[in-house]
Structure formats: C-alpha cells, structure tokens
C-alpha cells in the first residue's frame, strides 16, 4: 500500500480540505441525502468522506451538480472530449428545453452548455 492509499499519512493531511474536495463532498452528500459540513473536516478526513459517500447508495437521484469550482475557460483539459456525465446532463436538459442534443463537445463547452441549460430548465 502506498502513502497515496492512506490519506491519514499525508504530510498535508491535517490541512484544510481543498475547494474541490469541499465541492465534491457537497454534491455527493446531496445525492446521498446526508448532511456533511466539509469545513469541519481536514484534507485527510475529506478524502475518506469522499470515498465513503461514493460507495453509499444514491438516495436523491434528482440532486443537481453544483457550480463549477473553477472557471471552465481556465481548465487545462477544457479542449478534451466532454465526460459521459457532462454529455448525459446536456442531453437530458437539452431535450427538456426543446433543443437539439449535440453529438460531441469539449469539456469547457459542455460545462458552459450545462450552466446555460440549467437557467432554461430550472434543473
């Protein structure tokens, strides 16, 4: 087992959780119908909580994704092909908005489209 597999041994494990960890915990907690205060955790505990929540059954399938943690235009992988989840969100919301579903998008464009469609659909 490497040190990466054991967050409690991280040299930064007692630091505050990152904004990405806090955002991911909030999104996961919402989908699992549990209450978690990410600010009460350190980085190591946040990592363990993320793993715990990922393994828990989803209780709230209608939970929406949170706001992007960074500006999509600044993503180093923004030109990469959109993830399956992004394309799934776009497809569902585009259909609800009466728009055509794009066949391919980059990660940045998909993120922007999701935000646009959230405004149109209320999702």
The two three-digit tokens of residue 36, written as one number: 């978690």
- pLDDT tens sequence across 20-36: 888 888 888 888 888 99
User: How would you class 79 by CB atoms within 10 Å of its CB: exposed for 0-12, middle for 13-18, buried for 19 or more?
Assistant: exposed
3-class DSSP assignment, residue 80: coil
Write down the pLDDT at residue 39: 93
Q: Which residues contact 116 (CB under 8 A, 6 or more apart)?
A: none
* pTM summary value: 0.47
């Amino acid at each position: 087992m490497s040190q990466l597999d054991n967050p409690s041994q991280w040299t930064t494990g007692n630091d505050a959780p990152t904004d990405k960890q806090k955002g991911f915990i909030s999104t996961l907690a919402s989908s699992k119908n549990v209450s978690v205060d990410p600010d009460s955790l350190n980085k190591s505990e946040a990592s363990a909580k993320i793993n715990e929540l990922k393994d828990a059954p989803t209780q709230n399938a209608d939970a929406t994704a949170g706001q992007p943690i960074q500006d999509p235009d600044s993503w180093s992988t923004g030109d990469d092909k959109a993830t399956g989840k992004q394309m799934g969100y776009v497809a569902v919301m585009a259909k609800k908005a009466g728009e055509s579903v794009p066949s391919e998008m980059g990660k940045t464009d998909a993120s922007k489209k999701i935000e646009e469609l959230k405004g149109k659909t209320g999702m």
